[in-house]
């Protein structure tokens, strides 16, 4: 009895989701209106290298020096 209700409940849920998907195919949603958000020009800020970038450059320089030294 409870198994039958569970199967019928899941089947009903599947049917309703399938019907909703079919309805969306034939009646697509309307375009959402754009909210009046003021748009500004992007700020021109200089990009600063991060500490990780400078660490990578120094490691690359050390590795290059080792290769040049040991051949």
Per-residue confidence at 3, pLDDT binned at 50, 70, 90? very high
Q: What is the pLDDT of residues 7-59, one digit of tens each?
A: 999 999 999 999 999 998 888 777 767 777 777 776 676 766 666 667 777 77
* pLDDT for residue 5: 94
Whole-number Å distance between alpha carbons of 65 and 71: 10
Compute and round to an integer the Cα radius of gyration of the chain: 31
Furthest CA-CA distance within the chain:
83
* pLDDT for residue 58: 75
Q: Is the pTM of this model over 0.85?
A: no
Q: Which two tokens stand for residue 68?
A: 């040049």
Q: Which two tokens stand for residue 53?
A: 């970038």
């Amino acid at each position: 009895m409870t198994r039958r209700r569970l199967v019928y409940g899941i089947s009903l849920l599947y049917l309703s989701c399938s019907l909703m998907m079919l309805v969306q195919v034939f009646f697509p949603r309307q375009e959402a209106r754009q909210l009046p958000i003021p748009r500004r020009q992007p700020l021109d800020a200089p990009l600063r290298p991060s500490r990780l970038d400078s660490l990578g450059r120094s490691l690359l320089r050390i590795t290059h020096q080792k290769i040049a030294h040991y051949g």
